[in-house]
Amino acid sequence: MAKATKRLPDSLTMRLFAPGMSLMHRAGLGGLACTLKAIERQYAAGLLRPEKLPGPFVDGRPPWEIDDQSVTLRFGESEGAGTFLRKLFEFAFDIRDDGLIWLPGQYQSEPPTAALADLQAGLTLTFLQHGLVRALAKEVTTVGYDPEGDGVPGVMVEYKKCSAFKHQKGWEQLVDKKGRLVSGTIRVDGPVSPGAVVRHVAYNSSTGAEDPPERMLPLYFALVGCLALPVNRGVAALLVPDVTDLTEFVDDRPAMTPTSASDCQIASAADAAFRVQVRIRHAPRRSAEVEARARSSMDATSLPGCYAMTFTPTPWASQQKSRVATIHVPPGDDRRLDRFERAALHLPPRIVARVVKESTGRGKQKIVTERRESFRADSIVRPMIAENLALGRKWYTGFIKLMTRINPATDSPFRDQLSFERGGLHAMISDQSMWDTTGEQLLVQAVHEALRGRYAQIADENKKNPVAMKNRFSGEYDRWRLAFAGSKTPDHFRKALCDLFSRAGRNAVLQKQWQEVIPMLRSENWQHARDLALLALCSYQGREQPRSDSDPVPAPDSE
């Protein structure tokens, strides 16, 4: 009898929740869907020539199908898979003439060049961090954002031109020499799925990760579906969206991509994740299908959740950035997101300008010139708030850490930077919607009232000696900072707080609403109360005299 010939597949279907589809696989399948939709848009606009298409459009219909749960690619014949995938990868993983990686599936419109440079920095700290998987120029190229206004020059960004990276040739792993899909499994490595490693070098085949083509293809497109951003030169955040509906994700993914200097600046992985949700929340819906679905949904304001991963060097592997932490930011919660938006409003990333002096020549020939340059500075409080909100804690939990710990980035105490955020903190605590109970806000107000009394007493005692007055202001601030931060038990904290209240004289807040404040001083709440007392200390502002943000001690009231 003649042996039956095995029929090779002429299509490939990938399902969002098929067995073996992890979070990274689903994000990659979303990235593939976004790329295919980008091809459709460019072809319809006449920007993509027919010979560049992965396959011919028949009666205006592309050779693929996308629904809310799956993507199907049609090669025409089994031997056409190689050509189809090669052209798909050429479109999806491109490099511009200026040496910047170009992923069309991530954008609705072309981002500024400087934003692409920031995005490329994120990729080279996560997916493409190893020198063997990317080819970068040795020299540095500089590009700038447009000026922010008010005479502030644009922020300059440095990058190294890229000439090739691993994903561009990834299609070769998926097909055999005849251009047909391979029937076996393919090894998964870190550049395709960050964090995937061989668990034991002596047992490569047994402890390495492998996937068949229907899962390996989505993994390559995780580069498109995820968002990688640098925190600084050695730390990056990788946001892996929790894709549950491809149709909605195709609409949401372009809104995730930052387009400005402040949007590209993140303080932590959780901060980046919440800011992505904020951008999606305010982005106009472009798909009529998604809009109709949102109107018919019970929760029309829901936003996709995501896993925010931190990549940083470790003592045991300083030559690479390892995934050291992952935090889940849940799907859109209006109350939680509203609070983060207020934190972002009052404690935003800042573009700071400074004057730089340069000299040429010597002696009488010496010429000194001045130029203004800009750099990005960020909040140290907002990332703490973002992490607390993601974990379901009170937004001010752990404020004591900012008063007692050293900032590894500057090798100086965090508290030295809090003076620059006093105005933003004061605005936040004045917002009623930031509080779960009335007692929380009243405790802060009571501490403010007590501080106001103490500063007024000091001002009255040192009217004729401004230098002594300033020194005593500084000493008073440090006194209560040490008293509150040094409290290790409920009794110790209550003693410190009552000491402040007793020294400050009449306290209108306590006189009127002391019943609301008492529950915050109970043993089960004392750590929250300690954080609130320190928050009050750092956010106190005199009511009438303006204070410079660079002054760590608030100006007293004139009363």
Residue carrying structure tokens 């009488």: 364
Residues of the chain by 3-state class (helix, strand, coil), percent to 5 = 45, 20, 35
pLDDT at 354: 77
> Whole-angstrom Cα distance, residue 162 to residue 159?
9
pLDDT at 440: 95
pLDDT at 151 over 70: no
- Of 401, 482, 387, 385, nearest to 434 by C-alpha is 385
How many CB atoms sit inside 10 A of residue 248's CB? Answer: 21
Higher pLDDT, 195 or 264: 264
Burial 81-115 (b: 16+ CB within 10 A, else e): bbbbbbbbbebbbebeeebbbbbbbbbbeebbebb
Residue 378 to residues 265, 351, 358: CA-CA distances in angstroms? 8, 9, 27
pTM of the model: 0.87
pLDDT tens digits, 286-296: 555 555 555 44
**What is the three-class DSSP state of 555?**
coil
- Of 405, 398, 381, 345, nearest to 539 by C-alpha is 381
pLDDT tens digits, 352-405: 777 777 777 787 778 777 777 778 889 999 999 999 999 999 999 999 999 999
Instruction: Identify the weakest region by mean pLDDT among 283-292, 486-495, 527-536.
Output: 283-292
Query: Confidence band (pLDDT; 50, 70, 90) for 197?
Result: low
Domain residue limits, the chain? 11-197+208-269, 402-559
pLDDT tens digits, 160-169: 999 999 999 9
pLDDT tens digits, 248-271: 999 999 999 999 888 999 999 999
